[in-house]
A = this chain, B = another copy of it.
Amino acid sequence: MSLQLHGYWRSSASYRVRIALHLKQLAFDYIPVHLVKGGGQQKAEPYTRINPSMLVPTFIDDDEDVVLNQSMAILEYLDDKYPDSPQLLPSHSLDKARVRALAQDVACDIQPITNLRILETLKSDFNASAEDVKAWNQKWITTGFDALEKRLQTRSGQYSYGYDVTLADVCLIPQVYNAIRFEVDMSVYPLISKIWENCNKLDAFKKAAPENQVDAIRS
């Protein structure tokens, strides 16, 4: 078995897949794709041959001849293929739908709007300053977290959906990491903050953290 993850230390979507691989205790090669250096390695060959979207991550499972983009599709694939390790999705269709919706509250409504290429375009096409970019990120993260904090009141426990780690947590934690980086006031989100703390006690989340990757840049 040879699993490869092409990613970037600070990419939220790469971070999600790292968490899942560590939760499921799967060995994998982590292959850094530097999103900034030389204009971005994701925009040039050889990377564009495996992922024409010029985004990370890309997941490769050699045994199955699988080359997959889209972190959410990769996470569900891992959950389908390795059901005996901790499941990221509950078994009942209604629980499953609720967990997916919580995950997508981050993966569809927050992360895509605040990722690197958007920030670069705000700077290049709208003359946005560093402060403008920070305000843009804070606006979309707080809009998303305001709603999420309300939703979590219904069914969260130790984690986003009850007492087991799910796909919702796998998406939430990298987003909180970004929120902290962009100085979002997390004190107004007690439930999200509690889940952040609980997840970060687990080995899989620690191993997956941006600072613990080989391509992390220490300032």
Contact = CB atoms under 8 A, between A and B. Distances in A.
Interface of A is mostly: helix
A93 B75 CA distance: 12
Contact of A76 (B68, B97, B105, B113): B97
A1 to B, nearest CB: 15
A70 B151 contact: no
A64 interface: yes
Contact of A101 (B70, B97, B101): B70
Interface residues of A, number: 47
A108 B68 contact: no
A118 B113 contact: yes
Interface of A: 52-55, 64, 66, 68-70, 72-74, 76-77, 80-81, 93-94, 96-98, 100-101, 104-105, 107-109, 111-113, 118, 121-122, 125-126, 128, 132, 135-136, 139, 143-144, 146-147, 150-151
